[in-house]
């Protein structure tokens, strides 16, 4: 969902065109105080803000942007921007956000793999050493073997290269 904040008189036509172009629902509001209620109540993919409102009350604009969550703020001067330009800017901003999210997720996955690699290797080695113990009770051996197999599954799911086993 996209939040459109503008006092512009032609806002309904703009919202309909943006909704159709972005294939998303567009919610309209005319002030920062009303927009603040909206961003606290639901998630938006983007918040399109009329530049004239920002110039009239920059502190309210800053306060709003602090509460938009993962929504990307897009500032537009509706007085001079045509619908095509607004659509292009919104589409570009959403594409940037999508790319940034993908890169952040990939970085988080790499960090998690790196962090877990040593732990999983140590777990596998410990299991192997436990399984090499002579006279290990069969119930204990079965449990250690199960832990070993689970650790191998985790290693495979994380895409960590085999260093043990």
Burial class (CB in 10 A: 0-12, 13-18, 19+), 91: middle
pLDDT exceeds 90 at position 42? yes
Cβ 5 vs Cβ 50: under 8 Å = yes
Cβ 71 vs Cβ 46: under 8 Å = yes
pLDDT digits (tens, 9 = 90+) for 58-86: 999 999 999 998 899 999 988 888 888 99
Cβ 49 vs Cβ 74: under 8 Å = yes
CA distance 99 to 4: 23
Q: Give the predicted TM-score (pTM) of the model.
A: 0.69
Nearest to 9 by CA among 28, 26, 22: 28
């Amino acid at each position: 969902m996209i939040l459109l904040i503008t006092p512009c008189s032609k806002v309904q036509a703009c919202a309909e065109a943006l909704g159709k172009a972005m294939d998303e629902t567009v919610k309209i509001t005319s002030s920062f105080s009303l927009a603040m209620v909206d961003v606290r109540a639901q998630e938006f993919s983007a918040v399109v803000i009329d530049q004239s409102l920002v110039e009239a009350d920059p502190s309210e604009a800053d306060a709003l942007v602090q509460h938009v969550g993962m929504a990307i703020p897009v500032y537009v001067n509706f007085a001079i921007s045509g619908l095509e330009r607004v659509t292009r800017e919104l589409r570009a901003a959403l594409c940037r956000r999508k790319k940034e999210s993908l890169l952040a997720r990939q970085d988080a996955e790499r960090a998690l793999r790196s962090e877990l690699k040593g732990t999983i290797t140590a777990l596998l080695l410990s299991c192997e050493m436990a399984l090499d113990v002579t006279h290990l009770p069969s119930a204990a051996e079965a449990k250690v073997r199960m832990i070993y197999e689970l650790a191998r599954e985790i290693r495979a799911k994380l895409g960590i290269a085999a260093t043990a086993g």
